[in-house]
């Protein structure tokens, strides 16, 4: 099984639209690879996860796993994925919750990924791990073999919450892949989203 290996290139294009197209390419393949997507906060994570789903569209089905210590095997990714049906077409698992775990439980979850890495990828799903910038070194420390199988590390540096972030997301919305006849409606929608938080009263 080859998912990029230790020589995989981590130099991702800075342009978010190029990054999204790259994700679509990864997740539309079989197997779909192992991606680490870095965002600064949970709101940015939710926004970008929604954006990735929209860009991927029908090229791959996406299921969610949220790592949680209060569920049986809640920190063991391999067990969580084993409950899903075997995919017959490109499919991916979005893995959330790592950033919200206490340090010791995060270490346990990462070690479980490392030990169960072969099982994880025999299920036929691509894996997208959503993390924060400070967690990436922990992945290398506690799950080095799992991390070495990465296809890419992608960072979406969204502006701080507010009009600038809305404008960033509106631009991504504007350039989402879509049927040609739906594109004329995108521009007014993106303008409305960009300026909806602004107050033009004097």
Evaluate whether 48 touches 158 at the Cβ level (below 8 Å): yes
Least confident range from 15-24, 38-47, 169-178: namely 169-178
Residue 69 has what pLDDT? 87
Give the number of C-alpha atoms closer than 13 A to the C-alpha of residue 180, restricted to the C-beta side. Answer: 0
Q: Which DSSP state fits 31?
A: S
Confidence check: pLDDT of 180 > 80: no
Instruction: Tell me which H or E stretch contains 36.
Output: strand 34-38
Evaluate whether 128 touches 94 at the Cβ level (below 8 Å): yes
pTM of the model: 0.80
CA distance 153 to 170: 24
Residue 32 has what pLDDT? 78
* Per-residue pLDDT band at 137 (split at 50, 70, 90): very high
SS3 content of the chain, % helix, strand, coil (to 5): 50, 15, 35
Evaluate whether 75 touches 109 at the Cβ level (below 8 Å): yes
Residue 156 has what pLDDT? 92
Burial 152-163 (b: 16+ CB within 10 A, else e): bbbbbebeeeee
């Amino acid at each position: 099984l080859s998912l990029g290996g230790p020589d995989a290139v981590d130099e991702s294009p800075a342009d978010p639209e190029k990054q999204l197209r790259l994700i679509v390419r990864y997740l539309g393949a079989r197997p779909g690879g192992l991606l680490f997507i870095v965002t600064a906060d949970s709101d940015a994570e939710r926004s970008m996860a929604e954006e990735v789903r929209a860009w991927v569209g029908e090229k791959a089905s996406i299921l969610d796993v949220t790592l949680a210590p209060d569920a049986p095997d809640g920190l063991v990714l391999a067990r969580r994925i084993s409950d899903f049906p075997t995919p017959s077409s490109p499919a991916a698992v979005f893995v959330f919750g790592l950033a919200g775990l206490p340090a010791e439980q995060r270490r346990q979850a990462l070690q479980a990924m490392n030990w169960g890495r072969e099982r994880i990828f025999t299920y036929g799903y691509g894996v997208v791990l959503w993390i924060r910038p400070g967690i990436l070194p922990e992945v290398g420390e506690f799950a080095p073999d799992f991390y070495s199988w990465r296809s890419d590390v992608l960072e979406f540096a969204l502006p701080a919450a507010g009009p600038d972030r809305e404008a960033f997301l509106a631009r991504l919305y504007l350039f989402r892949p879509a049927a040609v006849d739906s594109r004329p409606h995108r521009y007014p929608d993106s303008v409305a989203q960009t300026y909806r938080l602004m107050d033009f009263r004097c």
